[in-house]
Amino acid sequence: MNPGFSWNLVTDVQWMWSLPSMVNAFRAGLAVALLAGVVGWFMVLRRQSFAGHSIAVTGFPGAAAAVYLGLSATLGYFGFCLGSALVIALLSRGSGTGVGERAHSSALIAVVQAFALALGALFLDLYGGFLSSTSAFLFGDFLGITDEDVLTLVAVALVVLLTMALIGRRLLFASVDPAVASARGVPVRGLNILFLLVLGATVAEVSKFTGSLLVFALLVMPAATAQVLTARPARSLLITIVLGVLVTWFGLAWAYFGNQATGFTITSLAFGCYVLAYAARSARGVLLRPAVTA
């Protein structure tokens, strides 16, 4: 079935795309990278990566519980991710991004996260023995995606991206400068709650493909890489999206020809990009350091 890599790129791609499951993987990869890129960019800017991580981790017991109860894993992901996002949003104070607020939130989020993992263990135990999809819940499965999966993904992506387009500028203001934004009538706390819910929905949807642990490869790494490379918001967001799509597609191809897990290939590429970007900026900083610092 897998003919191996031939160095003839055209026939390679033709072979790869002759499989419906690979075509769906590439389609899903595009939507997932777009979704995770936009939401992840704001998450990184708002320093809410830890909150995002915890929301992702609660997806695992959610999926395990749903499967144990005979429901679809999707339902479990969405129920638990949105639920934990709401808990974090309602219990965190103010904008959710300030220094004091962050300290308060991080302890709270850690509590939610620890309990979620414990629940995951409970459901696995209740299931009795080995749950075959445990590995997929944690590390993802880009193969075996159905047309229906892609449609659900596109629907979620549309809702999330439209929401982000509507609140984008206000959210940026509230993230960068909550005190002035608030004085200008921007509902800083309301936006924090809304954003965490959007993050919850994104994490739930993306986790179906990347797993609860590797959702971060696409949520954090492209955004963090772009923010290392540039401080211009529009350019940074664009780099995030392009990088996310490239990393996902090349990761899928690598996984297909190299017989590796997609979680490993995609994450490795994203990690490599981050390291390169960081090294490039550090090198530039050393070489172009101004003689007199203001």
Partner 1 sequence: MSTSGHLVDAEAPVLTLHDAAVSVGGRRLWSGVDLTVRPGEFVAVLGPNGVGKSTMIKVLLGALPTAAGSVSVLGQRPGAAGESIGYLPQRRNFDGSLRIRGVDVVRLGLDGDRWGVPLPLSRRFSAARRAADERVREVIELVGASAYAHRPIGECSGGEQQRLLIAQALVRKPRLLLLDEPLDSLDLPNQAGIAALIHRICRQEDVAVVMVAHDVNPILTYLDRVVYIVSGGAASGPAAEVITTETLTRLYGTPVEVLKAADGRLVVVGGPEAPALHNDRHSDRHGALL
Nearer to partner 1 by C-beta: 155 or 162? 162
Minimum CB separation from partner 1 for residue 154, in Å?
21
Compute CA 286 distance to the chain's CA centroid, rounded to the nearest angstrom: 32
CB closer to partner 1, 67 vs 270? 270
* Lookup: tokens for 88: 């974090």
Asked if 21 and 143 touch (Cβ cutoff 8 Å), the reply is yes
**Shortest distance, position 161 Cβ to partner 1, whole Å:** 11
Q: Least distance (Å) from partner 1 to the CB of residue 117?
A: 29
SS3 assignment, position 9:
helix
Neighbours of 11 (CB within 10 A): 11
Nearer to partner 1, 118 or 275 (CB): 275
Under 8 Å between Cβ of 217 and 225: no
Cβ distance to partner 1 smaller for residue 121 or 179:
179
Q: Could you tell me the sign of the dihedral formed by the alpha carbons of 261, 263, 266, 267, in that order?
A: negative
Residues 178 and 95 sit within 8 Å (Cβ to Cβ): yes
Binding residues for partner 1 (CB under 8 A): 45, 47, 165-170, 172-173, 176-177, 179-181, 183-186, 227-228, 230-234, 236, 294
Q: For residue 125, what are its two tokens?
A: 């135990």
Nearest approach, Cβ of residue 176 and partner 1 (Å):
5
Closest CA to 262 of 241, 247, 280: 247
Cβ of residue 97: shortest distance to partner 1, in angstroms?
A: 10
How many CB atoms lie under 10 A from the CB of residue 103? 10
Rounded distance between C-alpha atoms, residue 116 and residue 65, angstroms: 11
Nearer to partner 1, 139 or 173 (CB): 173
C-beta of 103: minimal distance to partner 1 in Å? 14
Pick 69 or 165: Cβ nearer partner 1: 165
Provide DSSP, 136-149.
HHHH---SS--HHH
Q: Which is nearer to partner 1, 102 or 208 (CB)?
A: 102
> What is the smallest separation between the CB atom of 183 and partner 1, expressed in angstroms?
5
Distance CA 22, CA 28 (A): 10
Is the CB of residue 195 less than 8 Å from the CB of residue 46? yes
